[in-house]
Structure 1
Amino acid sequence: MPDLLFLAQRLPYPPTKGEKIRAFHELKYLAQWYDIHLGCLIDDPDDRQYIDALRPLCRDIYVGQINRRTARLVCLGGLLTADALSVTYFRHRGLIDWVNTVADTIHPAITFVYSSNMAPYVLDLPNTGTTVVDLVDVDSEKWRAFADATKGPMRLVYRREWRKIAELERRIARHSALSVLVSDAEAALFARHNPDCANTIRGVSNGVDHRYFDPGPQYPPPYDTTRPNFVFTGTMDYPPNVDAAVWFAGEILPLIQASLPAAQFHVVGSNPSPEVRKLQQRDGVFVTGRVPDVRPYIAHATAGVAPMRIARGIQNKVLEAMAMARPVVLTADALEGIAAVPMLEAILADSAADFAAACTRLATTKEGVAIGTAARRRIISNYDWQVTLRGFDDILCPLVPQAAVQAEHRSPRLQRAESRH
């Protein structure tokens, strides 16, 4: 099969957090038609145990190790250069050399880049074939939002990052045969920023593994289920998640507890920041850190919550809770890109008072059962990965020999991988 160079900022496995979920399913999808040469980075030593899980999908793999503390110090040096700090963080000499070797010796037909941070590895590099970049979100807008919400010196840092990432995104749009984003809304925004490249910008939605996130099994309760329990999942050092958790715990939960004193808020996810850990000092707030399985927390929740005030793209936490047939209370930012009908398949609430009222209503009525049932039905209909990834069919299929894209001519490598995943 044709060769494809796949670059990702982190090892795309296990598919348990946003960037890894999408990257893994794209990798698995592309393995139908290509021999994959995967280059990625690890900044969490715990991820090394998962490298072998990806070998059935790839012809070869290069994994560069990053020390988080060192990388953060090095990336501060980017303030003295023209580079974005996030790009500097993910720069790795060994990966640069490996990419150059693949380009010189393999001459891949396709280079598929996951995230803008990895694009500098191949921008202007010869012998990389047709380049497709999955930007996922318009990251420059995220940094602009951070700047708007921050005071002091960090505001200047965020504003600089916004400008630098916007410059990089413009380079990517001009260089790439296709720029892919996680939703039509993000794609439209990116096209407005880059109108001269609008015809090479596409939206391809996330999906969710609804066979894994299945409400059917009996999950052991991880907390007292006689109380109202509201669950928020995600990587808990990611600033938008930190902001959401702090807002819910500080402003929304007290309103709920005014009428439901036993109500509890569970913050479930890896790497909780000091600000998030401090929330445990509040009555009824629990911060779990990394858990082996988020499904029991979702399955027994009165509701999943996504109180996002800074958000880009599609929130996997919302799709997962919907797949588990749980009602979700969320802001308009968290609903972006998800085709859920407000008040029928999810509950929309943008103010603290409305958010608290919705949570209280779900804890005191049977309304959540119908909403959760409708939510799962929506997921199965619209967000199966095999449905959403068809958005790549007219992007990548024409770039390979027609015989390679016939469904019956599936790669033995992919067949072995599917038996494991």
Structure 2
Amino acid sequence: MHAVPVPSGAGGSGAVRPEILFLSHRIPFPPDRGDKIRSFNVLQALARLGPVHVATFADDADDMAHERALAGLAASHCLLPRTKSLARSGMEALITAKPISLAAFRDARLSRYIAEVLRTRPIAAIYLFSGQMGQYLPPHFDGRIVADLVDVDSAKFEAYAAKSGGFRGWMEQREARLLAAEEARIAGLADHTLLISAQEAALFRGRLDKTAPAGRVAAMGNGIDSALFDAKNVLPEPRLAGHDGPRLIFTGQMDYAPNVDAALRAIRRLLPRIRARIPGASLHIVGRNPVAALTALDGRDGVHVWGKVPDVRPWLAAADIALVPLEIARGVQNKVLEAMAMRLPVVLTTGAATGIEARDQHDYAIADSDDQLVEAVVALAGDPGRAHAMGAAARTWIVGHAGWEAALAPLAGWLGLATRHHADAA
């Protein structure tokens, strides 16, 4: 659970190697969901720059089972199970006038580990992954701080609040207001604040007041392993392939509110209209922790809720169309990148296409209203040649534009380690 800081090799010259502290709200293993895929690739890149000390949390026993993998990559680590209930986090947040998101990730043991690392190791840079971990940033630090907020969480909670009412709406508006202040505070401490897309970065800059360092805000997009995500390398999942077509698929973490809302939209509003025109159409919801509102609909009227699967690629390979009707979408959607890489034609909303600068109606099909989404799916299902061409174009775009190496290329410079890294490589 907890590995204390350990000395790292100094290198042949006897000079002390600069080290990195990585703060993440969730262990980057296994890289099987959007935030973990990003943090995993970042952590790998950091480990190539120097020894990395990792402070992070595990959501459950499955996460804890990957501690050995984390230990194999980190110079030292502190991995703690996150057992604090939502009710307790809410009470702590109200008492301390902090966001619930911060209270949920507050742990004195992690604070002690971070303080020990900073006291005993030559930490040259801190990489903060997600705003929940900003509370652990030291107020005075001589090295570089890079804050990867990924999305503007405060804007997300504003969107939630606009759809809610009563006490829940009040709590979500409170969370949005307090998170906005925390995001601005983090930006003030960081040398660089990263968002997942140019659009998200522009949104964040616009929310900072005139005294905040908007010029240090940058976009760092997600990438994808296009060699791994290639339909040529996997067999289609027979449980999905056995259904009549068109087989529509929606993937993701299925207890995440925007994903749940999108899946329910597809089930309740889109699929019945699609099936009225194509009776054999089916919709497959694939992803861990589906909420009760989704599992209750499994097996009804062409709906299949599969839950967690060991590998999403065979399921994508067995589908005909990826349907991504997100109404609240922040940043680059890994589910879209993965489907495109697997040569699937993707029908998606404008929000779901954010940060993926491909060509509409060529590499994917953007549609926002229910009418537009239904028509786009029906049109692709009725024209297999066009669907195939769109999937092939999507794959070509991914290979040319969406690799992790290109996405992470500026990392060493942002951390102030570029010169040292080149010297070590030489």
Q: When the two structures are superposed, what TM-score results if normalisation uses the length of structure 2?
A: 0.92
Quick one: distance in 2 between partners of 1:405 and 1:248? 50
Conserved? CA contact 1:204–1:392, under 8 Å: no
Quick one: distance in 1 between partners of 2:265 and 2:72? 43
Conserved? CA contact 1:225–1:300, under 8 Å: no
Give the structure 2 partner of residue 415 of structure 1: none
Matches within 5 A, 1:219-298: 219-223=236-240, 224-280=242-298, 282-298=300-316
- 2:130 aligned with 1:115, yes or no? yes
Quick one: distance in 2 between partners of 1:123 and 1:235? 32
Secondary structure of the residue that 1:160 maps to in structure 2?
helix
Give the structure 2 partner of residue 59 of structure 1: 75
RMSD between aligned alpha carbons?
Answer: 1.5
Conserved? CA contact 2:243–2:282, under 8 Å: no
**Aligned-pair distance for 1:269?**
0.4
Quick one: distance in 2 between partners of 1:79 and 1:198? 30
Give the direction of change, closer, same or farther, for the CA distance of 1:163–1:76 in structure 2 (3 Å limit): same
Unaligned runs of 5+ in 2: 1-16
Conserved? CA contact 2:284–2:305, under 8 Å: yes
Provide Cα deviations, 1:242-276, integer angstroms capped at 9, x if missing partner. Answer: 10001010000011000111111111000111222
Provide Cα deviations, 1:366-388, integer angstroms capped at 9, x if missing partner. Answer: 21111011101111111010111
Conserved? CA contact 1:123–1:175, under 8 Å: no
- 2:105 aligned with 1:86, yes or no? no
Quick one: distance in 1 between partners of 2:359 and 2:218? 24
Quick one: distance in 2 between partners of 1:311 and 1:401? 33
Quick one: distance in 2 between partners of 1:385 and 1:222? 32
Conserved? CA contact 2:49–2:412, under 8 Å: no
Match for 2:151 among 95, 117, 137?
A: 137
Matches within 5 A, 1:405-420: 405=422, 408=425
Quick one: distance in 2 between partners of 1:315 and 1:222? 25
Q: When the two structures are superposed, what TM-score results if normalisation uses the length of structure 1?
A: 0.93
Give the structure 1 partner of residue 218 of structure 2: 202
Conserved? CA contact 1:246–1:279, under 8 Å: no
Conserved? CA contact 2:412–2:421, under 8 Å: no
Range moving further from structure 2, 221-230 or 238-247 = 221-230
Give the structure 2 partner of residue 369 of structure 1: 388
| Aligned partner letter, 1:382 | H
Quick one: distance in 1 between partners of 2:225 and 2:88? 37
Provide Cα deviations, 1:93-137, integer angstroms capped at 9, x if missing partner. Answer: 21111011111222411011100000101151x346221110000
Give the structure 2 partner of residue 17 of structure 1: 33
Provide Cα deviations, 1:54-110, integer angstroms capped at 9, x if missing partner. Answer: 33321111101112xx43122111123211001101111211110111112224110
Give the structure 1 partner of residue 7 of structure 2: none
Give the structure 1 partner of residue 174 of structure 2: 160
Match for 1:353 among 366, 371, 378?
A: 371
Conserved? CA contact 1:222–1:296, under 8 Å: no
Report how many residues are paired: 404
Quick one: distance in 2 between partners of 1:182 and 1:251? 30
Give the structure 2 partner of residue 105 of structure 1: 120
Secondary structure of the residue that 2:52 maps to in structure 1?
strand
| Aligned partner letter, 1:110 | A
Provide Cα deviations, 1:174-203, integer angstroms capped at 9, x if missing partner. Answer: 111110110111111111112531111110
Quick one: distance in 2 between partners of 1:327 and 1:73? 42
Give the direction of change, closer, same or farther, for the CA distance of 1:170–1:403 in structure 2 (3 Å limit): closer
Range moving further from structure 2, 74-83 or 342-351 = 74-83
Conserved? CA contact 2:54–2:74, under 8 Å: yes
Give the structure 1 partner of residue 11 of structure 2: none
| Aligned partner letter, 2:54 | L
Give the direction of change, closer, same or farther, for the CA distance of 1:264–1:52 in structure 2 (3 Å limit): same
Conserved? CA contact 2:237–2:315, under 8 Å: no
Conserved? CA contact 1:322–1:372, under 8 Å: yes
Give the structure 1 partner of residue 19 of structure 2: 3
| Aligned partner letter, 1:342 | D
Give the structure 2 partner of residue 314 of structure 1: 332
- 2:228 aligned with 1:212, yes or no? yes
| Aligned partner letter, 2:399 | I
Provide Cα deviations, 1:194-233, integer angstroms capped at 9, x if missing partner. Answer: 2531111110110011111111023342322432110000
| Aligned partner letter, 2:38 | R
Taking only the aligned residue pairs, the percentage that are identical comes to: 37
| Aligned partner letter, 2:397 | R
Conserved? CA contact 1:111–1:128, under 8 Å: no
Give the direction of change, closer, same or farther, for the CA distance of 1:248–1:225 in structure 2 (3 Å limit): same
Secondary structure of the residue that 2:85 maps to in structure 1?
helix
Give the direction of change, closer, same or farther, for the CA distance of 1:139–1:123 in structure 2 (3 Å limit): farther
4+ residue runs of structure 1 moved beyond 6 angstroms?
Answer: none
Conserved? CA contact 1:233–1:268, under 8 Å: yes
Secondary structure of the residue that 2:23 maps to in structure 1?
strand
Give the direction of change, closer, same or farther, for the CA distance of 1:107–1:74 in structure 2 (3 Å limit): farther
Give the structure 2 partner of residue 404 of structure 1: 421
Secondary structure of the residue that 1:216 maps to in structure 2?
helix
Give the structure 2 partner of residue 417 of structure 1: none
Conserved? CA contact 1:11–1:47, under 8 Å: yes
Give the structure 2 partner of residue 182 of structure 1: 196
Give the structure 2 partner of residue 146 of structure 1: 160
**Aligned-pair distance for 1:311?**
0.8
Give the structure 2 partner of residue 76 of structure 1: 90
Quick one: distance in 2 between partners of 1:207 and 1:400? 22
Give the direction of change, closer, same or farther, for the CA distance of 1:138–1:123 in structure 2 (3 Å limit): farther
Unaligned runs of 5+ in 1: 410-421
